[in-house]
Amino acid sequence: MNEPFLSVETVDQVIAELRIPDPGQATIREIVALVNGVEARSGVKYVRMEMGVPGLKPAQVGIDAEVEALRRGVASIYPMVDGIPELKQEAARFIRSFMDVEIEPAACIPAVGSMQATYAAFMAAGYTDKRKDTALFIDPGFPVQKQQMMVMGLKYETFDVFEWRGPRLREKLECYFSKGNIHSVIYSNPNNPTWICLTEEELQIIGELSAKYDVIVMEDLAYFGMDFRKDLYSPGRPPFQPTVARYTDLFILFISSSKIFSYAGQRIAVMALSPRLFKREYADLKERFRCTTFGNTITQRILYALTSGAGHTSQYALAAMFRAASNGEFNFVEEVKEYGEKARVMKRLFTDNGFYIVYDSDLGDPIGDGFYFTVGYPGMTGAQLVHNLLYFGISAIGLKNTGSDREGIRACVSHVRRDQFPDLEDRLGRFNSFYRNRK
Amino acid sequence: MNEPFLSVETVDQVIAELRIPDPGQATIREIVALVNGVEARSGVKYVRMEMGVPGLKPAQVGIDAEVEALRRGVASIYPMVDGIPELKQEAARFIRSFMDVEIEPAACIPAVGSMQATYAAFMAAGYTDKRKDTALFIDPGFPVQKQQMMVMGLKYETFDVFEWRGPRLREKLECYFSKGNIHSVIYSNPNNPTWICLTEEELQIIGELSAKYDVIVMEDLAYFGMDFRKDLYSPGRPPFQPTVARYTDLFILFISSSKIFSYAGQRIAVMALSPRLFKREYADLKERFRCTTFGNTITQRILYALTSGAGHTSQYALAAMFRAASNGEFNFVEEVKEYGEKARVMKRLFTDNGFYIVYDSDLGDPIGDGFYFTVGYPGMTGAQLVHNLLYFGISAIGLKNTGSDREGIRACVSHVRRDQFPDLEDRLGRFNSFYRNRK
């Protein structure tokens, strides 16, 4: 067992052909291309954990509604830029049912995925106040959101939250906010990639400081309800999805259909603005957008210029999924629980073979099991680990890509099938034998 | 017949409530809101010509393909950012069949409408060369493309082409290009709003100057094949859609499904880059995008950051519509000819009642009949005409909104039903009696 599982030559050849300078630091898409190349050449199927993509079937209630809208001829009609009334109402109702938060339907705005929603929000927020030119990311996080900032030419700062959990978060945030240059703060909850779940106490700190320093809070709920330690499918009753919306009146929530409804292909999400932010006038918006109201800048200026609205039939799909969920007829949390159950097994396969969980605790509790987990191997940097695992038929991305201070990899469970667990176990065993003997 | 058709008080009340400072200069969306308001209050249905939206049913071949993709479960899978292979191939084939131009499938890239495609193209082109910071619009044109520039904070210049047709175009373009600050030139053909169709001679001038001054040509083909004076539905045989692609190797074509396939709701289009531009390295792109290849900057940097690709099932729809058209099974030109036929009648109703066609000639020939036409009324500015027509139950937008130097309005035929022609005739008659007597 003292050699890699795959031909080193084959892997290195593909790396060279794709001109990837350091596979350990490669982007998700570079890893995808690399693994596709090696799989094609070697015939070996990787255990693929690099992509954060759904591994389940799309929600049938969405498909049925979308087919019905297509049959009705909706495809010829431009969608309203701020969304069809049905989706706006059902989004507001979904937020009420599962978050216990009141948002006006007018302020629930569909977008072409949360990707477009954050792009539009970053752009508007970036021009609200000339003295505030910087966004703050509570990291680790989703790498593409920083690419959005790069493409727009906007500034950001970032810190790794792991050492600043609980009451310490106040100190860290205040140190940034008090400089006066931060217009907004962004985080995902549950967190991609660590699966840390910010608590009500932490969200309260973020909310209070948002009010104190007039900072917009952007809460990315891509994994809405997926902290499986609680059953968050209880429409209209607690427990509710934790949210900063209880603690500030200056927020944007991003709710994507991609993961919770396995509807990633249709690029449909909703952004929900707090009543105050939706109507708020920012005089400085005028220079860039000839409009001073935050909500109108988002819809009439930015979303209109980006794509003139989100796909019309997909809006009906999302409205139907929200409606069925709020009606108690569609337990979307139950449907995605499989991710958590796979994570539990996969984490054990790693830790049984010399690996350790990098972000292992959630304020004293063991980290939950969800869509992602993070692992490291003694004596290896994250980049080395990504690279070395490639020779053993396992692919992932390095944590450094996500704004983490720590060494390790992000593993996504969604595309690993249960029938691949024996392969994973075998390959991790080989990996451990190989490197354990080298130490 | 000496008073307006509608209550002046009602119209003025809605104008005041919507805080529209001057209805004559209102945007399309402001006019829409205004007319919706007056219709609701007065019970009178307007003859609505302000929106450039399809008025036909969506192409059935697209709907069938999209339904089939939905049934197959495609909705859960992220689309590849540069598009599904099927669409890329069919787009290249469509361009070969109806334009007689060769583009690699790799360089045919779907986008969330031509709106997203031009946004991405303007952004990339705007950073190709530090010495070139300005785009040039050959106007009149689509107002929202300038809004895109505003949102991105990019510069543009513009001129009205009407006085610069034929060989004179060379002189005018050279006057801009020779300054050295122009990175790209944009026009639509057939033209929104004038329905001017640039000739092969004019396209050759644009192409030659593009090569001479290293300027990217962006050709918006939203109304592909809709110069009904020729039958452009002849797959693989002349006559072909005129295009600059014959005269330069530095171009981007924008082909939208919205008008030609009446598929506006699904926000799906294709941009096709010339082989040279697709692969071209621009060193200055690196600073903004950490990427120097034009094609990769568009896909991996910009489209990825904007929406992570275009809706998955809509890509299958567009592929199917392109395929059927190239196969000779779907005469999309025939389907939209109704617009030209309505334009012919509507123009006569206007000219019979004291109006004149503003952009009346196309290099000596009478202007063609298509999706839009332009009309003026003696002694009135375009803004006055828009405003005054509102009291007679007719809505349109002012030509000044489109970058025109001339006084008049843009009229879109698509949403006027043939059974409204008697209303239109009656209202134009009342309008003419009212104003003719005032002179």
Residue pLDDT, tens place only, B310-353: 999 999 999 999 999 999 999 999 999 999 999 999 999 999 99
Residue B327, both tokens: 């196969």
Residue B63 CA to residue A90 CA, distance in Å, equals 25
Q: Give the pLDDT confidence score for residue A230 in this predicted structure.
A: 94
Residue B394 CA to residue B47 CA, distance in Å, equals 5
- Which of B71, B147, B264 is nearest residue A78 as measured by Cβ atoms? B264
Please report where in the chains the tokens 């999706």 appear, as a residue.
B371
What residues in A contact B308, CB-CB < 8 Å? 113, 115, 144, 267
Confidence of residue A55 (pLDDT cuts 50, 70, 90): confident
B32, B13, B15, B14: which is closest to B23 by C-alpha? B15
Q: Are B309 and B79 in contact (CB under 8 A)?
A: yes
Q: Give the pLDDT confidence score for residue A348 in this predicted structure.
A: 98
Confidence of residue A125 (pLDDT cuts 50, 70, 90): very high
Distance from CA of B288 to the nearest CA of A (A): 7
Confidence of residue A439 (pLDDT cuts 50, 70, 90): low
Q: Is the pLDDT of residue A1 over 60?
A: no
At residue A138, what is the residue type? I
Largest CA distance in chain A: 67
Cβ contact B304–A267 (<8 Å): no
- Which of A115, A144, A301 is nearest residue B151 as measured by Cβ atoms? A301
Q: Is the pLDDT of residue B120 over 90?
A: yes
- Residue A88 or A25, more confident: A88
Strand B134-139 and strand A155-160: the pairing is unpaired
Q: Is the pLDDT of residue B37 over 60?
A: yes
When mean pLDDT is compared across B52-56, B409-413, B419-423, the lowest value belongs to: B52-56
Residue A376 CA neighbour count, 13 Å, CB half: 17
Q: Are A253 and A275 in contact (CB under 8 A)?
A: no
Cβ contact A119–B305 (<8 Å): yes
Residue B7 CA neighbour count, 13 Å, CB half: 10
Cβ contact B115–A263 (<8 Å): no
Mutate to test the interface with A, among B130, B149, B151, B258 (most CBs of A within 10 A): B151
A–B: how many Cβ contacts below 8 A? Answer: 184
Q: Kindly state the average pLDDT of the residues A265-293.
A: 97
DSSP alpha helices (H): ranges in A225-376?
257-260, 275-279, 285-289, 294-296, 304-307, 312-326, 332-351
pLDDT digits (tens, 9 = 90+) for A214-227: 999 999 999 999 99
Q: Are B144 and B115 in contact (CB under 8 A)?
A: yes
Q: Give the pLDDT confidence score for residue A307 in this predicted structure.
A: 98
User: Helix, strand, or coil here: B331?
Assistant: coil
Cβ contact B76–A58 (<8 Å): yes
Cβ contact B305–A79 (<8 Å): no
Cβ contact A75–B112 (<8 Å): no
Q: Give the pLDDT confidence score for residue B327 in this predicted structure.
A: 98
DSSP alpha helices (H): ranges in B72-133?
85-99, 113-126
DSSP alpha helices (H): ranges in A216-311?
257-260, 275-279, 285-289, 294-296, 304-307
Q: Give the pLDDT confidence score for residue B2 in this predicted structure.
A: 62
pLDDT digits (tens, 9 = 90+) for B162-217: 999 999 999 999 999 999 999 999 999 999 999 999 999 999 999 999 999 999 99
B110, B100, B143: which is closest to B235 by C-alpha? B100
Q: Give the pLDDT confidence score for residue A250 in this predicted structure.
A: 98
Q: CB neighbours (10 Å) of residue A162?
A: 18
Residue A165, both tokens: 């959990």
Please report where in the chains the tokens 């009606």 appear, as a residue.
A327
Return the H-helix or E-strand segment holding A158: strand A155-160
Cβ contact B150–A73 (<8 Å): no
Residue A36, both tokens: 């596709």
Mutate to test the interface with B, among A151, A258, A312 (most CBs of B within 10 A): A151
Omega within 30 of 0 (cis) for the link into A85: no
Confidence of residue B52 (pLDDT cuts 50, 70, 90): confident
Confidence of residue B438 (pLDDT cuts 50, 70, 90): confident
Q: What percent of chain A has pLDDT over 90?
A: 92
Mutate to test the interface with B, among A70, A271, A286, A414 (most CBs of B within 10 A): A70
Cβ contact B311–A267 (<8 Å): yes
B268 → chain A, closest CA residue: A311
Q: Kindly state the average pLDDT of the residues A233-245.
A: 97
Residue B241, both tokens: 């859609």
Residue B188 CA to residue B192 CA, distance in Å, equals 6
Residue A166 CA to residue B320 CA, distance in Å, equals 54
What residues in B contact A302, CB-CB < 8 Å? 151
Cβ contact B75–A62 (<8 Å): yes
pLDDT, mean over chain B: 96
Residue B94 CA to residue B325 CA, distance in Å, equals 7
